[in-house]
Amino acid sequence: MRDGLGFLLDVPVFVGTQTSPQSAVNGWTAISLNTTQVDTYGGHSNTVNNSRYTAQVAGYYNVCGVACWATNGTNVRAARIDVNGTVVQGTSQMFPASTTTITGVATPLRTVYLAVGDYVEVAGYQNSGVASPGLATGVASDVTSSLFVIWSHA
């Protein structure tokens, strides 16, 4: 009973953000998260596979993310949630690109089941047509790509 109550008072929580721009070619790209704000169970590395939060405890998790793109008004920008590299249906959001400011696209909050070792990512999409190395993600003091994960229940 005590251990169960202790767990409920300290469930897995992760908040990761991107503080350095990332170049991305046209299409979907896993967003790198090089800064950890909160990681209560050690499911994220800022240097190895840093786009991923890996479940340390099995259960249902509430997940949402943001993909931000540098100013470029061509076509659209999008964000979605992936589990183990596969899109979670109903998480994609798409918006027109902006010619004047960073385009930030947030996913809806979704509940997903993660077994121990499963990983979740926020993926971003751009189709600006910018040649290699691609369009950069946008990073500013008030808007940046990020991933939010919190354990909900078993």
User: In terms of residue numbers, what domain contains 74?
Assistant: 2-153
CA–CA gap between residue 143 and residue 82 (Å, rounded): 21
What's the one-letter identity of residue 36? T
Please give the C-alpha separations between residue 26 and each of 19, 129, 136, in angstroms, as whole numbers.
Answer: 21, 6, 11
Model pTM? 0.93
CATH number at residue 113: 2.60.120.40
pLDDT attached to residue 5 = 65
Per-block mean pLDDT, blocks of 10 residues, the chain (154 long): 67 97 95 98 97 98 97 95 98 93 95 98 95 90 95 94
How many distinct structural domains can be found in the chain? 1
